[in-house]
Amino acid sequence: MTAKATKSDAEKKEEKGGGRRTVTVNRKARHEYFIDDTFQAGLVLVGTEVKSIRQGKVSLAEAYARIEKTGEAWIYNMHVSPHAEGNRYNVDPIRPRKLLLTRREIDRLIGVTQQKGLTLVPMSLFFQRGFAKLELGVGKGKKLWDKRESIAERDREREARRSFAHE
């Protein structure tokens, strides 16, 4: 067996066994927001969107989530590239997609986002037991000085690790 065949077999076992295979991560989320809490939400996908997501052709860079007045959660501006072999079954790449959350989670998110002025930020997209899931973070936007402080703290930690490694 080659390493390539073993890797794909391992990925298949991981997905079937309930493991979590991350497709994409919104790296700017922790830089732009203080994340307090996270939730896992399912996605309502149509057509060939799942194939595109499995290939990693998805971007969360400009995406945001919102709870509508109807009591449903939606994600906006998540770009899923059209599947190459999809032809007429491809849909709009940045269409709004419904998020699947329990009523209790939606009610909690409504309360948190309205009272404290927090926002819903997509953190990562992954597959768990064959289903596409989105990790949502509840966070508050950072100011410019907060971002500078985070960068400085990260640099201090990096320098400390380097000094310990050289000793």
pLDDT digits (tens, 9 = 90+) for 1-26: 444 444 455 555 554 556 889 999 98
Instruction: Decide if 30 contacts 67 (C-beta within 8 A).
Output: no
Report domain extents, the chain. Answer: 19-142
Name beta bridge partners: 145: none
What pLDDT does 4 receive?
A: 47
φ/ψ of residue 130, rounded to 5? 85, -5
**Domain 19-142 = CATH 3.90.1150.10:** no
**pLDDT recorded at residue 11:** 56
pLDDT attached to residue 13: 54
Q: What is the pTM for the complete model shown?
A: 0.74
pLDDT below 50 — which residues of the chain? 1-7, 15
Yes or no: say if 3 and 11 are a contact pair by the CB < 8 Å rule.
Answer: no
Nearest to 77 by CA among 100, 59, 99: 59
Each residue of 87-104: pLDDT tens digit?
777 788 899 999 999 999
Write out the H or E segment, with its range, that includes residue 71. Answer: none
pLDDT value of position 3: 47
Contacts of 161 (CB under 8 A, 6+ apart): none
